[in-house]
Amino acid sequence: VSWNDAMAYTKWVSEQTGKNYRLLSESEFEYVLRAGSRTLYPWGDDNPSQIIENLTGKLDRNRQNSRIRWKKGFDKYNDQHWGPAPVASFINNQFKLNDIAGNVMEWVMDCWHDSYIRAPIDGRAWSNPGCENHVIRGGSWSSALDEYSSSHRFIAKSDYTDARLGFR
């Protein structure tokens, strides 16, 4: 889905329920991704020690009995999925949330800014009128290892779509 699609859905569901729904801000997303950690990845600084998310693993295969595997991925990691996994297929993080670091990348509310200079300090989204570029956070089932970093962020146009991209 595109950022525009995600925004249309939040508007629709708000109208249907009479409650106010929105995308997470970039700050909120990183907060729930880290879940109290101060390490490179939400689970630590190295390869995951257990199956925790739908991540790129060197032992993953694109189908049963296939020789096709990820050349770059976490060593000795195989979450049994080549592609998106059903929601909540893995363990909760410390905040009892699923699929924050892996499965699909996620749109957040914020406009893209090259740095955090002048960013809101209270967790609000940083939006500008006419903004065309937005922020994507988190990694997907096929991300490069550095894309799982708790601080990693992507830039994309409002109408960009990708099979590895969703929203919360």
Per-residue pLDDT, 107: 98
Q: Is residue 75 within 8 Å of residue 58, measured between CB atoms?
A: yes
Per-residue pLDDT, 65: 67
pTM of the model: 0.92
Per-residue pLDDT averaged across 139-151, rounded? Answer: 94
Which residues make Cβ contacts (< 8 Å) with residue 135, sequence separation at least 6?
26, 107, 108, 110, 111, 112, 153, 154, 155
Strands (E), the chain: 105-111, 133-137, 153-157, 165-166
pLDDT tens-digit readout, 13-62: 999 999 999 999 999 999 999 999 999 999 999 999 999 999 999 888 77
Q: Is residue 102 within 8 Å of residue 54, measured between CB atoms?
A: yes
Per-residue pLDDT, 44: 95
pLDDT tens-digit readout, 62-112: 776 677 777 788 999 999 898 899 999 999 999 999 999 999 999 999 999
Per-residue pLDDT averaged across 132-158, rounded? Answer: 96
Per-residue pLDDT, 82: 87
